[in-house]
Structure 1
């Protein structure tokens, strides 16, 4: 450890501010300028001394004077060399002390040579002290001043003028006291001036340094700005590439999968009961795997769209009761395979919510699918729709809660947040006992938050789990809303789906088997009929009298009144006697059925194609007359084959075009009832341009266009299509039935328009 500095040194250091180190080049120039000033002063005083000697004012030895002159001049050049050498080798030697002491000695030598006590030497005295003040500051100048006084007294002693404490000493000390006093105050003033100049120089140097730093920072900021701009351009390019990749993936993956699923469904329906059971099982495996893969692709693409901020929700009033019943009916078959009972509780008079219907159904579907998957065989799953008991934080009206309760193994407390992360499952391992990818609950959380709601999990190990989705009554102000605020309407002034449904012939299905009813009702609706249900014999009679349906399908094994008695009562009642009744039952007794007045008799398992053909003979669907022509413009031949089968079964004739140009030509020649148009096609003309050309051609301007595509549509693309098309549907399997419904609706609208004209 170093020694502590004495307090006197600290005070001295504090009294004089530290010198700011000058740049080496400037310091060298200053020292050389000082030496040149010394040279000028030495030569000037030598000249004055020579003139005084010449005129007889003073008398001194020429040899001594010349020697003093040579010493002074030589010291100037010696110190200039030393300063340059010190600057070159970066020495920090106090060279100024050497020439100051030398100047004092030269002054004293001159006094000794002149042998004069007159004040002429005081000029030299003042010069040396002033130079010290300018060069080294007040402390050095004071030291030089004391040195000069002592040297002067010593010189007087050597000259013999002072021989002790005599009168001459008293006069010399008096002169020195006066000189010291005046010189000290002059030195102090010079030092203050020097200090001010130093502070100004320091401020200027600091200002220059700050300006340089500011300039550097400005340049660095400009450079960072350019780098950020280039990075933003790369990010935008990456986003564009990602969006294009997602669009291509959506089209290239979904299109063949939709064909696989569609053909599998047709084969499964057409070959039901006609092939060996194991081949039927293989076909169902293909269908199930295709649906599973399509669901996985949809989940991944949905998650990517949410992360990219491209997921848009379309809000409209939704009945939670309808959502719950619709989803549970879809999950009924899956639950039955595990003998799981789905218990539904919907609060009476539950208000409608403003939400995005498909996403709301997906929220409930994912939760219910998880509950069925993790529940034990033979257990139950509960679905509850009720008002939210906890009022929202903003003080608005209370929302609603969707609650799904399972009887599964439960979830540990520390895992209850992980399950909502993408690709995470609670075990985190490689076992695939339960299957799944870990995307279902992640999408539930994202969709719930986009509706302005929240989801919570309440679970204990061994006691099952409860998932609660809290939703506001109006989610249209949530972050996921469409910027325009309302869904985009397409093209024509069309009726609602409810109005179109009301115009279809009504078929009353008397059936207590839920699974069979859902399968049969789906076929009937796709074929153009509106379906009503009766679960027992008494209800069948009451609803037949009230609804006056176009036809009745009757199961013979019903709770309450059996089917035979129902058939007798229907035919005995004048209000229902003329309604054709088709028996669809496990009981095979055709003779008795026809004897009691049945229009036809089918034994389960049902041949749906034959059944629908017979029903069309008895009760034509909403579209009558010759088969309407549907033009399908799509470059995928498999879509042509798939739609050809489905449209033919629904009573339509189909013709196909593989590109936009040929599609426009065929439409102008044949004038179809409806045009089904894909947006992504080879051949140079895409679906957008094809739609525009069709609407501008006089022969096809009034033909409704249905967009049927696997492309993910942006809001601007939907807006562009809204001027030329009636509706846009995806190629997902669940939308194919909607496609048939839309075709039927548009054909019916066109027929009504022609009739009114």
Structure 2
């Protein structure tokens, strides 16, 4: 009974151990299966995130493509838009498939699908609006904010799905980690169970041997059961005895190692293995089982890369423990191997990819940091040795003239290695010849690689090729374990090196060309200097010649106009016609000279644009009036389309007139009888102008039904002194300067001129000028006249005095006749110095100034004259050949006019200054307030002769009452009156809103003191003493007071 009881206990113990091992093995198998399944779920989660990113980026790219279509109008973007929409739909479908197993994600997906459809429909709607209603409606639709809200809602749904997937990803990563820990723990448990079982069997065997012989049978049974357990375990188990001989290798171990081989522990080194971190081969005494047998230590889950007996490579987690007898002596060793190749491969690939990318980035920095080939090569090989363990390497560059490779850089090589080889010679030559990389596994061979006498694990030969051009070959040797993708990484690095070598060659070529260009530039600069000197001489000649020609022309034009207008007596009709012919011919010749001078100023960069607020409609209508007479003679139909509300634009009014007049004159000149000429203007948006830099532009178009211009002649149209046909130049007078001036003046305004024409049907010229609504500081000058106030004449008889500063007798005589016809008394000074003295003595009401004077010139006179406090308000009109309007106005001139001055222009300038204004006096009423009936009668007579209806008041209070009742247009007031004097009347009228705007002229016998003038300052137009009263002066002051007023 006792014997059976012992066997029973032994069998029970074995069965219990077997059950534990089976359970542990099954749990280990399930853990590995769960690990694999959870790894797949992690990959599944990344797929969902990728598709969500595809939808998000696709929608943003679709918006960008549609905006490009709106901006450019190019139909190629509609194709790209359809393609991108299809990609988004495909990604949406993929998301639905990937999240079909997740009800929560399906719910979010429904909302995502809804918002995505809304966004795509909104984009389709925007496209429809653009195609049917245009860009402004599209912009209004976009500004409404609805598309942005839809987009934000879509982004929220995508973010929700991404957040859900990230939560799942975190959970699944935790599950993968738990599975790995569980597998490791089960492996440890199996090891413990095996150790325990082995110890139990060993103890039972020893006990049975000692106690009875039948124990051997029980031990054999136990070993048989243990073998069965080991046979079904999914891990490799190896057991050795105290001598190191492997006594047990289970099927799991054979499956891992690809076979079995019993060797002594001293021969354990034939088992090929490498440390994963360093790639160094594991020595025979470094294996875990060898260390356990020598030291008795227990090692858990030590990773090792192995080469199996069948040639395959794997990664194992190796756990070992010593086997001891009851006295603690080591009698054997146990090794449990778990194949973790799949687990570590993924991690290794990720680390390797990141490592490769980092190396490529560092290499790119090396390639761009230097222009020295040797330095780039040496740095690259050092980088590969440091980061990838290529202890020995070389780089051979190709000499295409000799078809040989020469070593330009090496790392860790002896000096006596071969430094050259031919194309096709050896393995290196073959790699260079074929352009294909070679990878040699030489871990079990001793090879002569041309590098050194050592046994690397891998040798790579990587050709460096750029667009089928051989540049170099890299040879790299390493003793580390080479993972998948290493060769591809080296080939990518070789591609980077090829681009860097190509760029370096281009840099060297560019440097050589730059040296050649520098030499050529010096020669060109010398020639340009000669051309600039010739150009300056030409400009100086044109300026001097223009001045010499215009001086006599001024007299011809001026005196012929005086004769024509009858200022020097009436002429016979034939004499008047002759004077008119002289006048028009002189004006024509003067215009040609002015064009030549203006063109030379523009080409020399001396022409300035004086910006001022200009009424475009009025300017264009005035330009039309100039050419209507000639057009009517040719029976031409002249039409215009000029909006009345076009408004004012800041530009150079004089130069714009030149542009419009030149274009209209050409249109009339080259349009046959019975044709048509049309002028139009409008404001257009900046985006409608190719290359437009301003928000709006002024577009002026002049079209005609004339002879037209051939395409080959249009290129020469805007060149100076050029006419497209000599026969036309004979038929139509002209110098060929008009269109050249138009083009250059437009460019001075930062605008442009273009034209379209059909031979025999007509031409259209288009001028585009920036629409400026205010003066902008910069290269433009704002033309603002100096403020002008009324000045009192120093002449006792009330006549207006004009001081004419002119050294030319003929020009002075023309001005004398014209000014006297306007009621001025004339003083003349031939020098600026004399004029200063005469001005201080005579106090003129007006000064006309020539610039080109002997001694002190006109500019210096103007500056000194305006600094004098007595003359700060005296108007100065510059009348000179040199008419720099911007400079003259900045120095205080009231007007700047160019010789010869036409009478109507002079009259207009004087009217602007308040000298010759004759405001309409019909239905005008004047109130005379004076207690002296004789004075009232005298003033009434003067005003009646001037066309006024007069009212009279003989006292201050009566004057106030009548002013409030009748609201006269003008009040003439005496200061010295009983009861309510003139000062009280002024104060009462100015404090009343009804009468505050009525102009008041004070006419009094009172001696006016400075305090009186200060008291009246700002409230009256003029203060006159009765002792100085005369008709001319009084009516002149009335004119000034009433200028610009209407009933």
TM range (shorter): 0.3 to 0.5
The answer to which structure, 1 or 2, has the higher relative contact order (CA under 8 A, 6+ apart) is 1
TM-score (norm 2): 0.35
Q: Decide which structure has greater strand share.
A: 2
TM-score (norm 1): 0.47
